[in-house]
Amino acid sequence: MGKIGSVCLVGAGCGKDLITIEGMNALKNAEVVVYDDLIDDGLLSEAPANAEKIYVGKRYNKHSKKQDEINQILIAKASEGKRVVRLKGGDAFVFGRGGEEYIAVTDAGFTCKVIPGISSAIAVPEHVGIPVTHRGVARSFTVVTGHTMDGTYENFEALAHLEGTLVFLMGLHSCSHISDELIKYGKSQDTPAAIISNGFSPEEKRYDTTLKDLAATAEQAKSPAVIVIGDTAGLHFSDDNLYTTEKNATNQPSAESQQAHSVKIESFQSIDENEFLEIHAVEKPLSGVRIAVTGTENFSKKTVETLSRYGADAKAVKTIEIVPKETIDYREINKYNWLVFTSSNGVRIWFEGFKKDGCDLRTLAGIKIAVIGKGTADTLKSYGLMPDFIPTEFTAETLGRELGQKIRASGTSENERVLILRAAKGSKALTKEFDKAGIVYKDTAIYSTEPVAAECNSFADSDYIVFGSAGGVDAFFQHVYELPAKVRLVAIGSYTAEKLLKYTGKPVITAKEFTAEGIAKAIISQKN
């Protein structure tokens, strides 16, 4: 089988330092980079030196390539078996026509992954001290294009009556029309406005003005520009003066217009600092609670991050490691109608092996995928696929029962074949439910868990110990023979809880969902 090409739509953010880690990794592994205007040269240098770089930038009244041409370039390079990165400023799906490119690529039969970027609609105003929302000033914002394919404009009557902040992208050459229409439909001519020119560049410049003077101010500015209209445009957030309407302004609004919107700003400034901090304090129901999270490195770290957000003093203790099985025949996948994954580890291992074996994701066309919960679904999405089924409760039993019911209800259960892809010694509750429903399935262990020795004193001061699998329970008790007297045990599901009960005879707190969030909720409910 020849090498299969792919396309990745990467939102580059607003400069080299604002691309995501995932986006940067995709760029560093690209064989072809198709990039827009305004892409930082330093960012392009992160691509491999031998990577082909194709410029397809667009500017006002000056398009180097039509959109259809860009689509064909992406398809042509993918057809050559290349890893193509389509590098787009900001976010690909915010007026970036990324959706059109996604459709064109996938319709041509190629995988197209999307990596979000930081939109200039938020980042550029924020960089010059303008929040698009702010308590007491604006609680919503609307992003509008100032330039359309057919020359038409937005419904300004509706925009004029919206509360909150208006952010216009690609609207510098339409400022006269924007201000005239908004004022025509009732927006105050003294509404604060700002134009930010060349955001995140050495030539970045902020112009403060009013809606009435927007067009005149625009004559001083250079493209590209972001236009902000609303009371937040009068704010200047800086280290030394958070709420001034005077600092850093290149072009000040008139004294009359400042007075017109000063009431809202003053009412916010009157809020006591302690009241402000109290309002914005994040609830920490697990503050001071010591929790040890056992299991694989990935599971324990993810769970620790979640518990820490609730204030817990949480630590990851690796007690098991994942060992992939070597006997998987990926080329027999077309024998099955359903794939079932019960863990994120299973998804990662199976798809990495699938790709390593030279298989094409198009092989999965017509095959449905079921996952046990949101975490597993998120991992599946990272491979460019959406689950076809998630149970109402994230347990093996519910997954088996509800998926079995769904297959039976289709009227084709006798022809439906299900492939379960999970760890060795997985919960029997899943297969029991399939047996009840008369589902034809193959239960395949694609990985096993091997115990890793952990220091016994890792748990000595713990209030709770968390277990993420039955295999993790076995591994734990191979090395730890005594539990702290007052420690409480937490299991991710009933199967894991049953295993803990057999070892200890102690009550077990059991999460209702197979997720880190589910574990946190279970501990909080018991603590309260």
Active site residues per annotation: 36, 58, 170
All residues at 6 or more sequence positions from 232 whose CB lies less than 8 Å from its CB, including other chains = 125, 130, 131, 132, 133, 134, 137, 138, 165, 192
Largest pairwise CA distance in the chain: 79
> Exposed/middle/buried for 101, CB within 10 Å: 0-12, 13-18, 19+?
buried
Task: Output the CA angle 191-236-213, nearest 5 degrees.
Answer: 30
**505 torsion bin: left (phi>0), alpha (psi -120 to 50), beta (else):** left
3-state SS record for 291-348: EEEEECHHHHHHHHHHHHHCCCEEEEEECEEEEECCCCCHHHHHHCCEEEECCHHHHH
For residue 383, the 8-state DSSP code is: T
Strands 192-197 and 225-229: antiparallel
The C-alpha atoms of residue 45 and residue 27 are separated, in whole angstroms, by: 10
Q: Which residue has the tokens 């999405």?
A: 381
The answer to whether the beta carbons of residues 212 and 183 sit under 8 Å apart is yes
Side by side, which strands form the sheet with 32-35? 52-55, 32-35, 83-88, 6-11, 111-115
The C-alpha atoms of residue 214 and residue 172 are separated, in whole angstroms, by: 10
